[in-house]
């Protein structure tokens, strides 16, 4: 075989690191290895485990003099496998910016030609922050097959339901047969467990064809404990200045941090450009440490938006302290995110539905006042004292638009944190669940459902992670210790019943049974109709943007939210009662008053038999109201009947 032809790097690359196919020139390889004297590329044209293997080609990369090593090889092509040899180390390592790891993180990297996929979404304009309904999805458990192709077949159903944005749990490759994805170690390589990179692109392309946006959950606070070879290329990828809860923090402000920042920012742009993703969900931003003039989170947002042009880009953050700085605009000293997850809404909803206020739920009471405040202000904690953490929590966000807050009553963390993995509809009464679902889906904030929530999935959702034995034991112990903050889960009986994260059955039990859609038609109809009301009713639709709502407490467990229409008198009332029947006598609350020359009438109620309820009598046009226990009702104004008009 002839020797590979080497040419200069030139301006042929789209991203600063990794292997990229260059039309008519071959493959460009580039890697950051500041402490290395030599970096050699090992090109493998056949699976190296086949006997006899094809003789690999080894070629030395050129030192650019700026800590990068690079080469363009005409011998290489899409599909070949490769690794790097560093100095005198006999062990070859995968590319830190590998685009695919067909044999997992410990195997060789594969050259992928991202330009071969034929996109058909040129007319897609992206995702704006307002008016979205998010659906959190774990590809490995969303379908029985657990891959991109099977998930794509279900997208028409989600679009018809009223979902507008899919939030995909992390896909950066990780070792083992299953996992949540938060221990990813190959940030540029979609995990082989769900299919090929082009199958991921196919999924996104299909979603766009149906009007669905796709954002990706990314983890920039740490990497996983197994298969992480970044440290072999440079000791400066990680920082010892900060203590991250899950592993070494990435180095965003120490020696050589500029190169690490470039690596993460390239990864950000890569997902947006080469997979046509509509944005990101940034995991655990409170564990991303940076004292630079431009915080890396702000830089990620800036780069993501630039990469998406001319499409709109939607960026969400998770931030347990609820620091409003993250979604303030750049010009106001913020980081520019579109929205943050709202744990407060989840916590108060869980307390209201289950009566349990343990551990991190202990500063929530699930009362009517909390829900009124949550719908009017987003976060409940905006700087007050938070007893669970023995410190203040949150920052003022009183005037933030509702779309800045992502509400949920289920997500991957919270389901698993129950210990049993049970869905909330199994932990509360059906009536109370329907009433809370109505509040959740009609609130002006952005709602997020977790996969299967829309049809009351029977499958639990556990924490699962497939690690080698020594790590698996530590993970299982750590998980049990974390759940022990809940007093009931700290008992020996419950500790013994906690599912083993490394047991394949823990993963299998977490897979959705999509036949539940047909078996649970009542719950499915509930979500479909509420999402239709949210999307199509002009008052509910407008209040998602203009914050024209107010609320009042009717009893400790009942409240009213008034949604003010754009036209005088065209309002909506949402009455929620999570306790027993109440008779509103007297009714000294102005928000209950009907518009001039109108009375209130019911336009939707949670006790509708179509949703499995026991029905509701006609809404009275005069006299005081009875509000049924554990129910929600939406009222709209109608012309006052003649027999209720007073004649003077």
The span from the CA of 194 to the CA of 151, in Å, is 10
Which spans in 210-342 are helix H? 230-233, 257-274, 296-308
DSSP state at residue 429: -
The span from the CA of 121 to the CA of 205, in Å, is 6
Catalytic residue among 198, 226, 278, 283: 283
What is the length of the chain?
Answer: 648
DSSP state at residue 396: -
Q: Is residue 318 annotated as a catalytic residue, yes or no?
A: yes
CA distances to 15, 566, 572, 573 from 551, rounded to whole Å, are 51, 18, 12, 9
Q: Which among 150, 211, 153, 218 is positioned nearest to 181, based on CA atoms?
A: 218
The span from the CA of 632 to the CA of 329, in Å, is 36
> Which secondary structure element, helix H or strand E, spans residue 531, and what is its range?
helix 521-536
Catalytic residue among 274, 318, 466, 607: 318
Contact of 61 with 42, CB cutoff 8 Å: no
SS3 (DSSP) at 622: coil
Distance of alpha carbon 217 from its chain centroid, rounded? 5
Q: Which among 264, 296, 355 is positioned nearest to 579, based on CA atoms?
A: 355
Q: Edge-to-edge strands of the sheet including 549-555? A: 549-555, 558-563, 572-577, 631-639, 598-605
The strand pair at 57-60 and 62-63 is best described as unpaired
Distance of alpha carbon 377 from its chain centroid, rounded? 22
The span from the CA of 194 to the CA of 202, in Å, is 12
Q: Is residue 118 annotated as a catalytic residue, yes or no?
A: no
**Helix axis angle, 368-377 to 343-354, nearest 10°:** 160
SS3 (DSSP) at 325: helix
Catalytic residues: 283, 318
């Amino acid at each position: 075989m002839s020797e590979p032809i080497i040419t200069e790097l030139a301006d042929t690359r789209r991203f600063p690191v990794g292997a990229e196919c260059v039309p008519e020139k071959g493959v460009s390889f580039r890697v950051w290895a500041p402490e290395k004297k030599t970096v050699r590329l090992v090109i493998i044209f056949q699976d190296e485990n086949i006997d006899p293997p094809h003789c690999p080609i080894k070629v030395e990369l050129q030192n650019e003099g700026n800590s990068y090593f690079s080469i363009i090889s005409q011998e290489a092509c899409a599909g070949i496998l490769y690794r790097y040899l560093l100095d005198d180390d006999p062990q070859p390592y995968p590319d830190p910016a590998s685009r695919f790891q067909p044999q997992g993180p410990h195997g060789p990297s594969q050259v992928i030609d991202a330009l071969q996929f034929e996109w058909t979404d040129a007319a897609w304009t992206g995702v704006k922050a307002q008016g979205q309904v998010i659906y959190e999805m774990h590809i490995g458990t969303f379908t029985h097959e657990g891959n991109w192709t099977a998930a794509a077949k279900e997208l028409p159903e989600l679009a018809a339901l009223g979902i507008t944005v899919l939030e995909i749990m992390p896909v950066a490759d990780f070792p083992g047969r299953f996992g949540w994805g938060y221990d990813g170690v190959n940030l540029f390589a979609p995990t082989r467990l769900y299919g090929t990179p082009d199958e991921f692109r196919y999924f996104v392309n299909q979603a766009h064809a149906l009007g669905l946006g796709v954002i990706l959950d990314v983890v920039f606070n740490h990497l996983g404990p197994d298969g992480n070879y970044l440290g072999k290329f440079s000791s400066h990828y990680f920082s010892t200045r900060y203590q991250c809860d899950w592993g070494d923090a990435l180095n965003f402000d120490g020696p050589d941090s500029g190169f690490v920042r470039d690596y993460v920012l390239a990864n950000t742009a890569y997902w947006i450009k080469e997979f046509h993703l509509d944005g990101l969900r940034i995991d655990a931003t409170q564990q991303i440490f940076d004292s630079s003039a431009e915080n890396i989170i702000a830089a990620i947002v800036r780069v993501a938006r630039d990469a998406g042009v001319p499409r709109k880009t939607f960026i969400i953050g998770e931030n347990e302290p609820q620091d409003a700085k993250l979604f303030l605009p750049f010009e106001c000293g913020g980081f520019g995110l579109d929205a943050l997850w709202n744990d407060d809404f989840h916590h108060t909803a869980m307390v209201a539905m289950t009566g349990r206020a343990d551990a991190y739920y202990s500063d929530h009471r699930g009362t009517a006042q909390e829900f009124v405040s949550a719908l009017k202000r987003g976060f409940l904690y905006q700087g007050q004292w938070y007893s669970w953490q023995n410190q203040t929590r949150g920052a003022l966000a009183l005037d933030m638009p509702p779309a800045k807050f992502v509400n949920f009553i289920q997500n991957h963390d919270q389901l698993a944190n129950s210990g049993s993995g049970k869905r909330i509809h199994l932990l509360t009464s059906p009536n109370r669940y329907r009433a809370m679902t109505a509040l959740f889906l009609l609130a002006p904030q952005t709602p997020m459902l977790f996969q299967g929530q829309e049809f009351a999935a029977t499958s639990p959702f556990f924490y699962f992670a497939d690690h080698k034995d020594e790590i698996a034991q530590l993970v299982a112990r750590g998980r049990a210790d974390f759940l022990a903050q809940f007093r009931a889960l700290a008992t020996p009986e419950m500790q013994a019943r906690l599912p083993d994260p490394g047991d394949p059955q823990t993963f299998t039990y977490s897979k959705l049974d999509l036949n539940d859609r047909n078996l649970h038609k009542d719950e499915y109809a509930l979500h479909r109709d509420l999402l239709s009301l949210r999307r199509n009713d002009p008052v509910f639709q407008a209040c998602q943007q203009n914050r024209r709502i107010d609320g009042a407490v009717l009893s400790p467990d009942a409240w009213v939210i008034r949604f003010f229409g754009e036209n005088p008198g065209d309002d909506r009332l949402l009455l929620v009662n999570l306790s027993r029947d109440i008779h509103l006598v007297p009714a000294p609350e102005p928000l209950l008053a009907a518009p001039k020359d109108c009375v209130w009438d019911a336009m939707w109620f949670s006790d509708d038999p179509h949703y499995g309820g026991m029905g509701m009598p006609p809404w009275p046009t005069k006299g005081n109201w009875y509000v049924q226990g554990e129910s929600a009702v939406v009222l709209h104004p109608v012309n006052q009947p003649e027999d209720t008009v007073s004649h003077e």
